[in-house]
Structure 1
Amino acid sequence: MKRIIVIIVLILFTKNTFAQNIDQSKVPAVVLNTFQLKFPNAEDVKWKKDKKDYHIHFKVNNKDNKLELNYKGNILEFSQDLYISEIPKTVLETIKTRVDYFDILDADKKEKGKKTTYEIKFKIEGKYHYFWINEKGELLKYRQELKDSEIPSSIRDLIVNRYGRIDIDYSKYVEEGDRIIYIIKGEIKDDDHHFTFDKKANIIKHIHDIKNSEIPSPILKTIASEYKDYEIKDADFIEEKGKTYYYLRMKKSRNQVYITFNQNGKILNSK
């Protein structure tokens, strides 16, 4: 994939940049005691530290578990794989209101604070479905991969009429509360495009991979002044909530920066 993937990778990378593998011998006693008291039969234990928090990956009865503790030993979040027989009936009944038949591929139970969420994944006719349901059986979020023919015609027509014919890589339907969105990813004239639409076919966000030659000259002037000797590695044009801006990744030796510009070359954000 091309430049548009960089943004997704960046989000994942920044979340895990400071998480480092550590040996259990370096874990504070208060943190280690909390873990060992709660999971005395844990196996294949792996520790990571992210700032002041500790992430533990381990197995109990051959099932994967993840636990997050703060430096005081307080539990922040816990998740575990489930057998199908362990999924509550209220959760299964909620799924049945959406699909008649399903063969579960993966099920997880997540606890955060006083909230418990069940995440269920399965596949129907080659397309993945994901459910997030609470312990009461209430649907929190639902995501479904779509066939091209399932994309609303109003969305397909808007893309073609405004941007050109798109070769779709993937499309998704997402429902969360009263909010429904459609996510479309594909190529138009060999450039990557990533669209997010609301249920009325209004564009919420559009990310368009652009060539360096398509970057407005005011932005190039700012770069020449503020980021001399930096090389432009990636560039994207973004439309969001009626506003437009440019997102660039630049590099100089080992230094890498991510800058958001408006079309007049003003720096809106940098990191």
Structure 2
Amino acid sequence: MKTLRITTLAIFATAAIYAQDLKQNEVPTNLLNAFQKTYSNASDVEWELDSETYKVEFDLNDLEQEIWYTKDGIIVKREMEITEKDLPSAVLSAIKSKYVGYKIDSIELIEMDNKKTYEVELEKGWTQELKVVFDVNGDVLSSVED
């Protein structure tokens, strides 16, 4: 848990150095219009400029989402918080067979380069935490103790 706090702090410090918060009127009109058209029900919308990529963080139906756009409006990455019922059955089966005794704490769907992965945080008791990344077939791509 201590490692997680230090890592999180480092990420926020790095992001603060390289990412620039934007006001809505500073976002290119084409990006803003495309976002608002697709996500008209979004709340808590925050924009950032990181190098040449525009990132928007927002809530939709009480789930957090992040989208990275090029300046031309092309989506290069999307991260969406999802619920257990939204997991592919292959991923759910892999969790039940490979991580007996663990409970799902949170799930994030990541879409990038036309590929989907599922980052699942698992807990067992009060002290054991794992962050496991699965592909759509339920294969483990990475597993790290938190």
Normalising by the smaller structure, the TM-score range is 0.7 to 0.9
1:166 aligns with 2:48: no
- 1:4-19 equivalence runs, <5 A: 12-13=7-8
Higher RCO, 1 vs 2 (CA within 8 Å, ≥6 residues apart):
2
Amino acid aligned to 2:49: Y
Report the residue type matching 2:28 in the other structure. Answer: P
CA positional deviation for 1:164:
4.9
Using the alignment, how far apart are the partners of 1:10 and 1:197 within structure 2? Answer: 28
Give 1:11 shift.
7.8
In structure 2, do the counterparts of structure 1 residues 11 and 267 end up closer, same or farther at CA, with 3 Å as the change threshold? farther
Q: Mapping of 1:105-116 within 5 angstroms? A: none
RMSD of equivalent CA atoms: 2.6
Residues 160 and 266 of structure 1: is their aligned pair in 2 closer, same or farther, counting only changes over 3 Å? farther
Call closer, same or farther: CA 1:256–1:187 in 2, change over 3 Å: same
Of 137, 140, 145, the match for 1:267: 140
- Give the structure with higher Rg (CA): 1
**TM-score normalised to structure 1 length:** 0.45
Q: Distance in 2 between matches of 1:247 and 1:166?
A: 23
Residues 14 and 226 (structure 1), Cα distance of their counterparts in 2 relative to 1, 3 Å cut: farther
CA distance in 1, matches of 2:56, 2:49: 9
**Residue 25 of structure 2 aligns to a residue in which SS?**
helix
Mapping 1:36-115, distance limit 5 Å: none
Q: CA deviation at 1:157?
A: 3.5
Per-residue Cα deviation, 1:48-107 (whole angstroms, up to 9, x for no partner):
xxxxxxxxxxxxxxxxxxxxxxxxxxxxxxxxxxxxxxxxxxxxxxxxxxxxxxxxxxxx
Contact 1:229–1:252 at 8 Å: present in 2 too?
yes
CA deviation string 1:177-200 (max 9, x = no partner): xxx111111112221111111111
In the alignment, residue 29 of structure 2 is paired with which amino acid?
Answer: S
Letter in 1 for 2:135: N
CA shift, 1:203, in A, is 1.5
- Cα distance in 2 for partners of 1:242, 1:252 equals 32
Q: 1:153 to 1:14 in 2, by over 3 A?
A: closer
Distance 1:232 1:172, change over 3 A: same
Between the two proteins, the alignment pairs up a number of residues equal to 136
- Measure, in 1, the Cα distance between the counterparts of 2:90 and 2:100: 15
Alignment of 1:211-230 (within 5 A): 211-230=83-102
Q: Distance in 1 between matches of 2:96 and 2:79?
A: 25
Q: In the aligned structure 1, how far is the partner of 2:74 from the partner of 2:82?
A: 22
Match for 1:262: what amino acid? D
Aligned to 1:171, the other structure's residue is in SS state strand
Alpha-carbon distance in 2 for matches of 1:269, 1:250: 13
Give how far 1:160 is off.
4.2
Residue by residue over 1:228-267, the C-alpha shift from the partner in whole angstroms, topping out at 9 and shown as x without a partner, is 1100001001111221111000011222111111112111
Alpha-carbon distance between aligned partners in 1 of 2:139 and 2:48, rounded to the nearest angstrom: 34
Q: TM-score, normalised by structure 2?
A: 0.79
Once the two structures are superposed, what CA deviation does each residue of 1:9-38 show, in whole Å capped at 9, x if it has no partner? Answer: 6782597xxxxxxxxxxxxxxxxxxxxxxx
Establish whether residue 155 from structure 1 lines up as the match of residue 27 from structure 2. Answer: no
